[in-house]
Structure 1
Amino acid sequence: MKKFIFSLIVFAVVILFIGSCSQIDDSPKALVNLVLVDTPAKWDSVLVEIEGVDVEVLLEGRETGSQTFYLEYKTGDKKIRVSDLVAGRALIIGRDELPVGKIIGLKVRMGSRHSLYQEKKGYNMPLKKPEDPFVTLETALDLQAGVAFDIILDLDLESSILQTSTDPLSFELDPVFTVILGAGAGEVKGVISPATLKPAIYLIQGIDSISTQVNTSGSYLFRVPKGTYSLYFDPKDSTYNSQRITNVQVDSASITQLELVTFTKKQ
């Protein structure tokens, strides 16, 4: 009798195991990496809190309807020193395998703790619309099975930080992101001299432009889609002349290395 009961238990366990295996999701997936970079501002240091990103996917085989996947920034402290993400430095703020289909939108979930530092003095930055912490971004990316995709979120601090008063000095944050699809992005990089300058560097295409600054060694980097651009270098110092480079060709998945840009003193 005991052997019979034992046999029934083993049989039940096997059935449960087979049933659980049949529930494993073996549908094709694509790996998505959400990568944060910074288009820095003039401030010494800027910290921004990001909770994660909602990714809206139109699943393959569905003509209507979509599904949203939350890619959380999984860390104890979600405050990010985004002003350090320059000249090639980047931070993955979300990663997951998603079903095959088409990404049709992103929503960045902002936290509530944002601040900047200038000359060793700190300033809190509330969101411009604290009741709506989501930043909606349009994008379109086809996900293919077994392929990893990088989605670069370029946070433009120069445009995102708003000065609300001068006495006392206060600020608020209205996040402005540019979405760059890593698979089709190219890089523009170079170095300025003297490295002690902190110029604003603008990459321009038509009426659109994005800006960045240099790191401590004078290096700068842009990640942008394929196209033809010009660069304008504003020295932010009235004793130096501005500089310009035109007809810069950027190709997909390639690096365009520019010659050294040397700022000259005004006569």
Structure 2
Amino acid sequence: MARFTTSDGLSLHYEDEGDTGAQAVLCLAGLTRNTRDFNFVAPHLRDCRLIRMDYRGRGLSDRDADCMNYNIVREAQDAVELLDHLGLKRVVLIGTSRGGLIAMALSLSHAERLAGVVLNDIGPEVSAEGIARIMDYVGKTPDLPDLDTAAERLKAVHASDFPGVPLERWRAQAEAMFEERAGGGLALRYDPELRRALVGQAGAGQGPDLWTLFDHLSQTPLAVIRGANSDLLSEATLEKMAARHPGLIARTVPDRGHVPFLDEEESLAAIRAVLEQAK
């Protein structure tokens, strides 16, 4: 584990594992997630230099006094500053949900830094249903006594979109998302002010055209992984993405919603295909 300081003075946590001479892979997590988002795929990428970063306000990184800095543009800049800190010119980027949006933003501002991109259950169109589900939980601490109970709740809530996932996997997921308080109960592993940032940014008007950003990936080796039961990335959107990017590697993971864990056979095949093209 290590830290670096951003250009605006925040200390951000990152992890850098593997041979420094191997293909560098930068992993960017979901909206409220952290470096643990990639614990399941990490054992499958031991031949790579695996780099993970906690966004500002998430995981072990500093919280920002101005929550409006919890935005994709600033987080993309933080990612570039991490690459500069490590002396890396180009990486393969695996972006889960929010991380995929950051990858698309980087395709416009720093395309030369992207040797390849894997988008995990995210695209240029995000369903209203998925956004509503996210806003239903962001910034809210679950009223649960411990991680074991949280694991049981996750398993029950996701029984239909993640059928057959064992409780031990949900226990690991719960530990990645929450921490137990000394006096009992759970705490979020991110700044709850993230919710206020999302609400404020939504009220600021229409954001950038994500299809335009996606089109800037046309010359980049690209894979999209979709959970078959996803409520955020539809099958129709994935088809449109494939039509606009003829070289797109598209894989749908059965029995997964938003988001696949990335250690599924289909996910690993997509990641490996991009790594091969990025050589």
Instruction: Using CA pairs under 8 Å that are at least 6 residues apart, name the structure with larger relative contact order, 1 or 2.
Output: 2
Q: TM-score, normalised to structure 1's length?
A: 0.25
Structure 2-normalised TM-score? 0.24
Q: Which has the larger radius of gyration?
A: 1
Structure with greater proportional helix content:
2
Please state which structure has a larger fraction of its residues in strand.
1
